[in-house]
Amino acid sequence: MKSHAATALRWLDFPLATWRWLRRGDACLQDFRASFATSLGVDTTRVHLFGSGRAALHAYVASLDLPTDAEVLLPGYTCAVVPNVFEHLGLPVRYVDIEAGGFNPSAAGVASAIGPATRLVLVPHNFGISMAGVASLRERFPHIVFIEDAAHAWGSRDAGGHMVGTLGHAAFFSFEYSKPLSTGLGGALLVNDSASGWQPPALHRPAALVVAKQALTLAWHRLVQALPVSWLNGLKQLLRAPSRRLGVVAATPAGELQGSARPDYRLSLHPWSAALGERQAARAAEIWAARRTQADSYDALLPATLRAERGAGDVLLRYPLRLPAGLDHETLAVAMATEDIELGRWFDDVVHPRGSLRYGYRSGDCPVGEATADCVANLPLGLHAGLSQRQRQALRARLTA
């Protein structure tokens, strides 16, 4: 089954990460920091590890000590955990619509939205497609803090060849299950502004049981990548009841997405998770090359009307599609599953996922983002996502019928 999680993991990574953790202990955290920094071409001291990407964002914004009336501009196409950070910090937000035909706001759109109260702008790189014009925005608005949401974009470069994450004052990355580098949960903050006075907060380590759940969930996602859908359906039926009773499936709680619960922003990354991440970071060039090759293959296979424009330096997390009006997503997803291909519905709302708290958003604020969410679907990329000739033919036939 070609799916969207654990896309850079190999089975051998699990025992080797465990062995390294047993030998190196807490030093695994520094090892991963160094390896991840090397992948980005930056000094290790600029990288700070957290228990999640949202925790990294929360820590940096909190360190700015902004007044309660400081306005934050967010993209009109984002994940709920991002605006929730600002809701928890008590900062007002306003959304900037994305460009027609794209998945990010334009620099011109951001510039026109900046007002007298604006103090911070979140710059997205949705699906790994780098947003253009960040340097020009920083030059034009030197009093504004620009933070990059690089959760989807590990390895992407802008048109000038600059690594995504190094463009703003700071950037946060996510290592969640479906991200290009996955440790279960986890994240990193990259601080580019040496004058910010940034000091990392005190963090506490996740419980062993939490990490065990993350490891089991990662193993499940890796298994999904190796089995046909007919086998998976039987395995799901067999494991559903015991997994629910034992609570071994790790995921973002529904209460957090809906705004009724607050995550633990002081959670750190566990050394075992860092050991797992280090193995993937060391394979960065291989992982990025595989994603680029697969995206190029989809380009050649599918009509331009379905595809999104991207830069030559972009490393896509998922391959986004714009499905034609009237095409039923669920019917198409079922048909694709019979070919052992998972059709993703990521991002299905302006504030993804649908049904989440839309902090500060009013329906109609971002019409392009809303229309995009209604038609978007995505295809898997990663080390285990290569399609057979039969699957390629079936995919083209399904999407061009």
- The pLDDT value recorded for residue 261 is 84
- Rounded mean pLDDT of 26-38? 98
- The pLDDT value recorded for residue 372 is 96
Q: Strand 118-124 relative to strand 71-75: parallel, antiparallel, unpaired?
A: parallel
- Give the residue numbers spanning the domain of 251: 1-401
> How do residues 40-56 score in pLDDT, each as one tens digit?
999 999 999 999 999 99
- The pLDDT value recorded for residue 255 is 81
Q: What percent of the chain has pLDDT over 90?
A: 84
- Rounded mean pLDDT of 197-210? 93
Query: Would you call 118 helix, strand, or coil by DSSP?
Result: strand
CATH number for the domain that contains residue 356: 3.40.640.10
> How do residues 162-190 score in pLDDT, each as one tens digit?
999 999 999 999 999 999 999 999 999 99
> How do residues 336-371 score in pLDDT, each as one tens digit?
999 999 999 989 999 999 999 999 999 999 999 999
Distances in whole angstroms, Cα of residue 27 to Cα of each of 51, 171, 266: 16, 24, 20
Name the least confident of 68-72, 101-105, 322-326: 322-326
pTM over 0.85: yes
> How do residues 297-319 score in pLDDT, each as one tens digit?
999 999 999 998 999 999 999 99
Question: Is 236 a residue whose pLDDT tops 70?
Answer: no
Length in residues, the chain: 401
Q: Which residues pair with 149 in a beta bridge?
A: 124, 172
CB 202 within 8 A of CB 266: yes
Report how far residue 131's alpha carbon sits from residue 92's, in angstroms, rounded to the nearest whole number: 23
Please tell me the chain's helix, strand, coil percentages from 3-state DSSP, rounded to the nearest 5: 40, 15, 45
- Rounded mean pLDDT of 91-110? 97
The angle formed by the CA atoms of residues 162, 133 and 167, to the nearest 5 degrees, is 40
Q: If pLDDT is split at 50, 70 and 90, which confidence band does 112 have?
A: very high
- The pLDDT value recorded for residue 229 is 76
Q: If pLDDT is split at 50, 70 and 90, which confidence band does 115 have?
A: very high
Q: Which residues pair with 398 in a beta bridge?
A: none
**Mean of the per-residue pLDDT values of the chain:** 93
Q: What percent of the chain has pLDDT over 70?
A: 95
Smallest Cα–Cα separation from 196: which of 149, 145, 148? 145
> How do residues 239-263 score in pLDDT, each as one tens digit?
555 555 556 565 677 788 887 789 9
- The pLDDT value recorded for residue 245 is 53
Number of domains in the chain: 1
- Rounded mean pLDDT of 326-344? 91
- The pLDDT value recorded for residue 194 is 82
